[in-house]
Structure 1
Amino acid sequence: MKNFKSKIAAQMYSVRKEFAEDAEGTLRRLREIGFEAVQLDGMRGNDPLKVAALLKKYHFQVAGMHIKHERFFNDVDGIIEEVYLFGCKTIFDKYIDDDEQNEQGYRKTKATLLEVAQKLSPLGFRVGIHNPEYDYNHLVDGRKVIDFITDPVNGICIYPEPDTYWMTIAGENPVETIKKYSGRAPILHLKDYQSGYDLNDMENNLIEVGSGEIDMKSVVQWGEENGVEYYCVEQDYSRIGIFESLKIGFDYLVSLEREL
């Protein structure tokens, strides 16, 4: 069983620019902060073999992988090859493409993800979807999109990857909303929020984990009781330097261990 600190992962979208410019330096900095796991979000121009070697060099576990939406439709073999390379069988559709953010697109997405999951589940894969705010604001068959897509069909489940920030932006209470995902949300995205800005002003209303208004302690307590394997710290923007922002979030989560 993992110790709590090892369950705190850095979402690599946070350091997308840094990773593109200096992959090894970026991973070294994350390890110095204390992270023992990362969640991959594309190679950012790096050779996948090089990235795999660096992850091994710095002793990182891979806490799931975010995969571009279109690849689930036309590059399943490529996804399998990547996942085996990185030793991680939990894959998420990171974001439904803009032109498919409609009822037809949502139905198509669910059908395709279920088809992929049906093929890959026997190999030990878990197929999931990451939620932005529209997954809570739009409906299909009277169900919020995230619920529609992750509702099981014939015993096959698309795993939700709840995101505390996007739930908040959508007017949800993350502490209450995540309760419906008990046992089927192995990875949570932790992003914090501060009010006083336009909901679309992410550069200002997104703040370091533990520094905002989301009850992260309650989220993590729920996670520890309901099968969460990794807590991914994601910081899309930073006003103080991305590594400093990630360190604040990491240190805050580590401090919670005494209260869990």
Structure 2
Amino acid sequence: MKTKLGLIGIVTTELSQDRPGTLNKLRALGYSGLELGLGSIQEDASGWKRDLAAAGLAVITAHLGREALRDALDATRDALLGAGARYATVSWAEADSVEQIRRDIQLYNQAGARLREAGITLCYHNHEHEFSTRFNGRMAIDMLLQEAHPDALALNLDVAWATYGGADPVAVLERYAGRVPILHVKDLYHTGPRGCFTAPGTGLVDLHGSLRAADEGGCEWFTVEQDKPRRLRGMDLAAAAALNLRELGLELA
């Protein structure tokens, strides 16, 4: 499988100290892009686009809240276009009731259609609760994706949170093949306490199966993430993850 490797977080300190140098190091490791927060892009869209392009990298997506879609969609779209991002990702939403999810679906359908006109795909990024929460036996994530218009909302799937929520990420990827353009490649060393993250490829998440299923389903970006460090951190963690994924069969573009 040959794909583009992305990164979110992990080297935040290094980027704040030496952004051009850090980006060049990431490119040398095989990374092709970064996921950023909408706030960072709004503060310096042209700067990020310039520095990333100089290193041969791209902005993959901007993470945002629902208010950016509901209250400032035009400004959000313009910031994304200014940075060259082709995806926008809702980074978190509760799944408390059928009514609340359906309100969100209405928002995503409307905003996703508008963004699509500008060449931007709206995605939803999961945590564990969308899989552990069920309504009449139906997982909240299935309700969200099956009732939202497929052209308006895609999935930025986090395989570790899906696993922690009791789901099989491979089955999720197969069920929504063609609708997962971004995969968050994350690992866990334990599913008891919340937040037992480890370097991708060193834990119990089925990354090999997930990478295969995502590739077969047309996934464009495989983004390395680790919410909090275990032993490695910063550039060491970014390097280890890239090497581990290559060992699992990932061929980097």
Shared fold (TM-score greater than 0.5)?
yes
Query: What's the counterpart of residue 252 of structure 1?
Result: 244
**Residue 243 in 1 paired to residue 235 in 2?**
yes
Residue pairs, 1:67-82, within 5 angstroms: 67-82=64-79
Identity of matched residues, %: 23
Counterpart CA distance in 1 for 2:250 and 2:167 is 28
Which residue, out of 116, 128, 135, partners 1:133? 128
Query: What's the counterpart of residue 207 of structure 2?
Result: 216
In structure 2, what residue type is equivalent to 1:16?
T
- CA offset digits 1:81-100 (Å, max 9, x no partner): 1111122221110112xxx5
**Residue 158 in 1 paired to residue 153 in 2?**
yes
Which residue, out of 227, 230, 247, partners 2:221? 230
In structure 1, what residue type is equivalent to 2:60?
A
- Relative distance call for 1:15 and 1:109 in structure 2 (3 A) is farther
In terms of fraction of residues, the more strand-rich structure is 2
Counterpart CA distance in 2 for 1:124 and 1:23 is 28
Query: What's the counterpart of residue 28 of structure 2?
Result: 32
Counterpart CA distance in 2 for 1:219 and 1:154 is 24
- Given the two structures, how large is their TM-score scaled by the length of structure 2? 0.87
Counterpart CA distance in 2 for 1:50 and 1:63 is 15
- CA offset digits 1:176-197 (Å, max 9, x no partner): 23221111111111101112x7
**Residue 16 in 1 paired to residue 15 in 2?**
no
CA RMSD, aligned part only?
2.5
In structure 2, what residue type is equivalent to 1:206?
F
Residue pairs, 1:87-126, within 5 angstroms: 87-96=84-93, 100-103=94-97, 104-126=99-121
Counterpart CA distance in 1 for 2:60 and 2:39 is 15
Q: CA deviation at 1:44?
A: 4.5
In structure 2, what residue type is equivalent to 1:218?
G
Counterpart CA distance in 1 for 2:223 and 2:138 is 26
- Relative distance call for 1:144 and 1:20 in structure 2 (3 A) is farther
Q: CA deviation at 1:38?
A: 1.7
Query: What's the counterpart of residue 44 of structure 2?
Result: 47
Q: CA deviation at 1:255?
A: 2.8
Counterpart CA distance in 2 for 1:234 and 1:258 is 16
Tell me whether 234-243 or 207-216 shows the greater mean CA deviation: 234-243
Counterpart CA distance in 2 for 1:49 and 1:235 is 27
- Relative distance call for 1:70 and 1:160 in structure 2 (3 A) is same
In structure 1, what residue type is equivalent to 2:37?
D
Q: CA deviation at 1:24?
A: 3.1
In structure 2, what residue type is equivalent to 1:29?
K
Q: CA deviation at 1:171?
A: 1.3
The SS at the match of 1:171 is coil
Are 1:39 and 1:62, in contact at CA under 8 Å, matched by a contact in 2? yes
- Given the two structures, how large is their TM-score scaled by the length of structure 1? 0.85
Q: CA deviation at 1:241?
A: 2.0
